[in-house]
Chain A
Amino acid sequence: MKQIQLRQVSKSFGDVEVIPPLDLEIEDGEFVVFVGPSGCGKSTLLRLIAGLEDVTSGQVLIDGADATAIPPARRGLAMVFQSYALYPHMSVRRNIAFPLRMAGLDRAEQERRVDEAAKVLNLTEYLDRRPGQLSGGQRQRVAIGRAIVREPTAFLFDEPLSNLDAALRVGMRLEISELHKRLSTTMIYVTHDQVEAMTMADKIVVLQHGVIEQVGSPLELYRAPRNTFVAGFIGSPRMNLLEGAEAARHKAHTIGIRPEHIAISTRKGDWQGVVGVSEHLGSDTFFHINCPDFAAPLTVRADGELDLSYGSTVFLTPDLAHLHRFDDNGLRLT
C-alpha cells in the first residue's frame, strides 16, 4: 500500500526554487532514507511531508487522502528533530505525554503509554528529570519516546544523530533500526551520512539540488548507480571516477571502480602507480595511489595486514566485472 505519495511537489522560497516538481512514493512500513550533501533539499522535502512548510505546488497524499492543506498537528505524523526540540520547562514524563495530552487521552492511559515507552527506551529512572539534566543520547531517546507514544502513521527523522558523538551514534543507529523492526511503522529518515543511509534503509532516495537522482535499495544503489553523482556519493571510501584514455578504452566518457574492486600487487598489474598516504583501519588498509595516467589519486582497499611504504611502486588491476561506465552526461551505460 502506498502510504505517502508526493505528486509533482515543488517548493520555492521567494524566487529560488529549492525543489523542482518531483514524484515519490513511500510504501507502508518502509524505512526510507533521504540522503544528499547539505543544501540538497532533503530536510525541506521532509518538512513538506510534515506540513511544517507549505508546498508551492503539487500534492502530498497520506494514506491515499490529500493532506496538502492539513496542518501538521492533524497529519498523524511524528517527528524527531536534530536539536531534539524537547520542552525545557517540562519533565521527561510530561514531554513524552505531551502529544497524548494534546490528543485528549485520559490520565491513566497517558501514564500507561508513557511508562511503556520509557521502559522500551530505558528512560524509566529519568522520568522526573528535566531535559537540561540529561545527556545528548538520553535527550534523543526522550525525543523518540515522544514520537512513539502516539502511535503515528509514520515517523519523520531530521538528522537525529548529527549532534551525538561517534560511538553513541552507532548505538542509536541500531536502536532506531530495531525500533523499526519491532513497530514496522513507516519511517522517513534524513541524513547527510551515507553510512547511516546504507545501514538503516530499505530504500534510499539520493537528492542533489532538490532533484531525486536515484531511488533504490542500498545494494541497488551500490551495484548500479544511475549516474556519477550517486556513484560518488554512495560507498565509503568513494568510488574512483576516471576519465580520459582509460575510459575511452572501455567505450565510456567516465569509468568508475570502487576501492574494494581493485587488486594491488607489487609485481604486476594493469596500471602502475606510486603509494601515497595509507590509512590503516586494522581490518582494512586504504592506500592512495598516484598513477601517472590519471589526474587524481586512486583509492584502493587492501588487507589490513598489507604494509607498503610511502613512495614505493605498485601495480593495480581493476575487477572488470565491477567496472561502472558512464556517458558524457554522467549517466550510466549498460
Chain B
Amino acid sequence: MARATTIRQKTITTIIAWTVAMVIFFPILWIVVLSFKSEGDAISTPMRVLTSAWTFDSYAVVQDRSDYFKHFFNSVIVAVGSTLLGILVAVPAAWSMAFVPSQRTRGILMWMLSTKMLPAVGVLYPIYLLFIELGLLDSRTGLVIVLMLINLPIIVWMLYTYFREIPAEILEAARMDGAGMRAELLYVLTPMAIPGIASTMLLNIILAWNEAFWTLNLTAAKAAPLTAFIASYSSPEGLFYAKLSAASVMAIAPILVMGWFSQKQLVRGLTFGAVK
C-alpha cells in the first residue's frame, strides 16, 4: 500500500534527520552545558555534568581575566569592515562581468575561485613579511584588508550571480535616461540587487567572524578578535574546559543570534535565481 510506505518512509527519514542534526549540534550543546559548570565538574569521571550544580563562575572569571568587549569590538570591526570594503570593490567588478562580459570573463571568474583552493599557509610567510614591512601587524586595518582579500572571490561570485538575474534592458534604460555609470550603479543596479547584496554581506560577515587562521597569525594583543580570545583559553593539557567553553559561547553567541534572525534572508539569497 502506497500510503503505508509513505508514512514509514517519513518516520525513517525524520529519525535520520533528527539523529544527524543532534550529532552536529551536540558539541555546541555540550559547550554551552560545560560553560555553566565548575572546572571540577566539567572534567570529572564518572560524569557529574548533568547532576552537578549550575554556576556563572566561568563567565565571571573569563570576563575578569581577559577583556571580552575589546575582542568583541575587534571582531565586529574586522567582520563588518572587511565586508563593506569587499562590497565596495565587488559591486563594480561584478557589474562589469555580468553586463559587459568579455571573452575572458569566465576565465577570470574561475581564476578568482581557484585562489580559494590555495592553502592559506602557503602565503603566510610572504604576507607576514609584508605586514611587518608595512607596519600592519596586529592592526585592525591589516586584518580588514586581509579578510577582504580572502573573501573577495566569494563576494564577487555571489554578486555576479545576482546581477545576472537583473535584465540588462533596465540598465540600458537608465543609460538612455541620462544616467552615467556612477548613477546607474547607485540608483538602479544596487537598489535592485539589495536582497542579493544583503545575503552576500551576511554570509561574508559570518565567514569573516569565524576566520581563525589569519586572525590568529597576524594579531597579538591590540587587534585580536574573538577567535584569538577563544584560543587563549585552550591549553595543551586541556584542564580548563569550563572556562574554554564559556569563552567559546561568548565568542559564537553574537554570530549565532545574527544567523538565526537572518536565516530566511540567507536561504533566500543563496537560492536566488534557482527559484524564479
Contact = CB atoms under 8 A, between A and B. Distances in A.
Contacts, number: 62
Interface string B73-111: 000000000000000000000000000000000000000
Interface in B171-201: 172-180, 183, 187-188, 191-192, 194
Contacts of B173: 79, 81, 85-87, 146
Interface residues of A, number: 25
Contacts of A71: 175, 180
A11 interface: no
B167 interface: yes
Nearest to A156: B176
Contacts of B170: 85-88
Nearest to A50: B176
B169 interface: yes
Given A85-B170, A89-B191, A79 B178 contact: no
Contacts of A146: 173, 177
A72 B188 contact: no
A79 B175 CA distance: 10
B178 A87 contact: no
B183 to A, nearest CB: 6
Interface residues of B, number: 18
Given A89-B191, A89-B192, A83 B169 contact: yes
A166 interface: no
Nearest to B170: A85
B96 to A, nearest CB: 15
Given A83-B167, A83-B169, A78 B192 contact: no
Given A88-B192, A89-B191, A81 B172 contact: yes
Given A89-B191, A98-B174, A73 B169 contact: no
A195 interface: no
Contact of A85 (B172, B187, B191): B172
Interface of B: 167, 169-170, 172-180, 183, 187-188, 191-192, 194
CB-CB nearest 9 A-B residue pairs: A102-B178, A85-B173, A99-B177, A85-B169, A79-B176, A72-B175, A89-B191, A73-B178, A85-B170
Interface of A: 50-52, 71-74, 77-79, 81-83, 85-89, 98-99, 102-103, 146, 150, 156
